[in-house]
Amino acid sequence: MASSNVELKEMDLAALVEELRATKQESLNLRFRNATGQLDNNAEIGKVRRQIARINTHIRAKEIALAEGTN
């Protein structure tokens, strides 16, 4: 989850998909740690979920731009 919103905007579609995969894996790890009682800061789960939503928004915007023929 190292990418800021500005960095996400500058990524291409393939990089965004890879970032989404990595962030979803991080979310899984956080949920697992929470279930086993090893997670100290529960707010991290919400932060990662919001980051996934941001990435999905940027991916969709790129897909729409490509469909319309603009970049």
Q: Which domain holds residue 49?
A: 5-68
Model pLDDT for residues 25-49, shown as the tens digit of each residue: 999 999 999 999 999 999 999 999 9
Please give the full DSSP string across 7-70, using - where no structure is assigned: HHHHS-HHHHHHHHHHHHHHHHHHHHHHHTT--S-THHHHHHHHHHHHHHHHHHHHHHHHHHT-
The CATH number for 9's domain is 1.10.287
- Say whether pLDDT at 1 is over 70: no
Q: What is the pLDDT of residues 2-32, one digit of tens each?
A: 577 888 889 999 999 999 999 999 999 999 9
Total number of domains in the chain: 1
